[in-house]
Amino acid sequence: MKADVVIIGGGLSGVVAALAAHEKGAKVKLVRKAYGRTALGNGTMSFAAQENDGQKNTLKSRMAIAAKNELLPYSVIKDPLKSMKQAYKQLAGHLSGGFEREIDDDTPVMLCLSEGGALLRSDMAVPQIKSGDLARYVGDGVKIAVIGFAELPFFRPKLLKEQWLMDIKEAGIEKAEIRVFSLPMLDDGKLPFFRMYSEAARVIDAMDALGPLAERIRDEIKGYKADLLLLPPMMGLARRDAVRDISELIGLPCAEVAGGHQAVAGLRLQQLLDEALQTAGVEIINGEAVGFEIKDGRITKLAVKSGGEKADIEAAAYVLAAGRFIGGGLREARGISEPLFGLPVMYAEKNIAGLPAIKLVERDYAAKHVIFSCGIDVNERMQPLDEKREVKAANLYACGDIIGGYDLVLDGCAEGVALASAYIAGANAAGGDK
């Protein structure tokens, strides 16, 4: 098999890199082992530090906070904000519907209630979550109605209410009020208990019409003048407009809370990304990259195992976007390693490859653990560096989570790094290096 650019990994960064290379006119193939962190995520993206910087909280001011942290990959990228904006603009052009929100210097942070009980700060989300953005109520009051369904015992709005209220008021919405309502999702009296959100989402998919459900919700919250109605993170998987439909039927802005474990929002984002690849004409190969051949400082071949068969792909450039431990870009068994190219795994300019995981965690649970921040090092052109801090191969690029230096959760810049680095890596792989 032959291609101009081969992308290894099909999450957010892999897709952005593929689209960037595709736009430069390259013939792109994407090798993907399985779904990873994007599909398992909560459907939100955060671009820069999540700290509250006071009044403004714009993307630019938070990027300035991020710039102070020298470990972040933003210190390597020339103009991260510019690349990020370009990448986002390109991605939004490929995603079908719901991603119109402009990403600009003075875009304020999005505030969404999460299923886990926190107020999430993020910059972008799937449409179902985005409509629940509380930032528009800052400096004002808001009345929120939260619906819990009896069939979902693991969604506990009553338990989380106090935490949510505290967080909302801290974010600058003084007169916040939350009322929790509970009703059965299905009205046939059978009351099955769902094991996970996706099951409930499939029941929503299979419903003939959402009218009866919307009517029962309206009856339940009658008498409470809410500004916003929040639903559990399960409003349909194949049915993309369930939240919008219910919102129209009830006559109230509706949204999902940002989902946690086994929710469907991340899967929706991944499906949108897959569709973007398909419409762009990027071929997806379901398989695992297992080996490579290097000659004169250039990678000539990539061995891919797919369905029990091995095949070689020859390309002019390769982009490693395999993620960290969930995606399989880094491996933890028998010492930390980068299994495909054998690159050194770095943290704060120290090679920690080969160390067991137990040496890379702190006693304090909430502390910054090295294991969650380590990854490979890259140069300005997103080329991975080897032990001597020289370019590993002239036509190898890396992007996304596999680049080390930041904690996926605590630093709150994972998707921003993914966008910026993938855009540069994809463009360089397609144009700059032939």
Partner 1 sequence: MSGFKKAMAISYIGYRTGHHMLRQGYKDVSRIVGIKVLDGIPKFTQNYIADGLTSLTRAERNKQWDFSKCINCGLCDALCTPIDNTRDLLSQGPSLAASSYSRAFPWYKHAEKYLSEWKACSGCGKCSNICPTGVPLKEIVAFMQRVIDKQKAGIMVAD
In the complex, the residues that contact partner 1 under the rule CB under 8 A are 33-36, 39-40, 190, 192, 194-199, 201-203, 205-206, 237, 261-262, 264, 267, 286, 326-328
Least distance from C-beta 42 to partner 1, angstroms?
13
Q: Which is nearer to partner 1, 17 or 201 (CB)?
A: 201
Q: Which is nearer to partner 1, 58 or 271 (CB)?
A: 271
Per the listing, tokens 């001011």 go with: 61
Least distance from C-beta 327 to partner 1, angstroms?
7
Helices (H), 171-322: 197-206, 211-220, 242-250, 265-280
Least distance from C-beta 295 to partner 1, angstroms?
31
Least distance from C-beta 134 to partner 1, angstroms?
27
Q: Which is nearer to partner 1, 55 or 286 (CB)?
A: 286
The one-letter code for the residue type at 424 is I
How does DSSP assign 118-152, residue by residue? SEEEESEE-HHHHTT--GGGTTSEEEEEEEEETT-
Of all residues in the chain, what percent are helix, strand and coil, respectively (each to 5)?
30, 25, 45
Q: Which is nearer to partner 1, 327 or 426 (CB)?
A: 327
Chain-centroid distance of CA 174 in Å reads: 30
**Tokens, residue 246:** 């219910």
Least distance from C-beta 4 to partner 1, angstroms?
25
State the angle between helix axes of 414-427 and 12-23 in degrees (0 to 180), rounded to the nearest 10: 30
Torsion over CA of 92, 96, 100 and 105, rounded to 10 degrees? -10
Give strand pairing partners of 351: 346
Label residue 187 left, alpha or beta by phi (over 0 means left) and psi (-120 to 50 means alpha). Answer: alpha
Q: Are strands 254-256 and 228-231 parallel, antiparallel or unpaired?
A: parallel
How far is 232 from 226, CA to CA, in rounded Å?
Answer: 17
Least distance from C-beta 116 to partner 1, angstroms?
16
Q: Which is nearer to partner 1, 194 or 341 (CB)?
A: 194
Least distance from C-beta 277 to partner 1, angstroms?
15
Q: Which is nearer to partner 1, 150 or 206 (CB)?
A: 206
Q: Which is nearer to partner 1, 63 or 330 (CB)?
A: 330
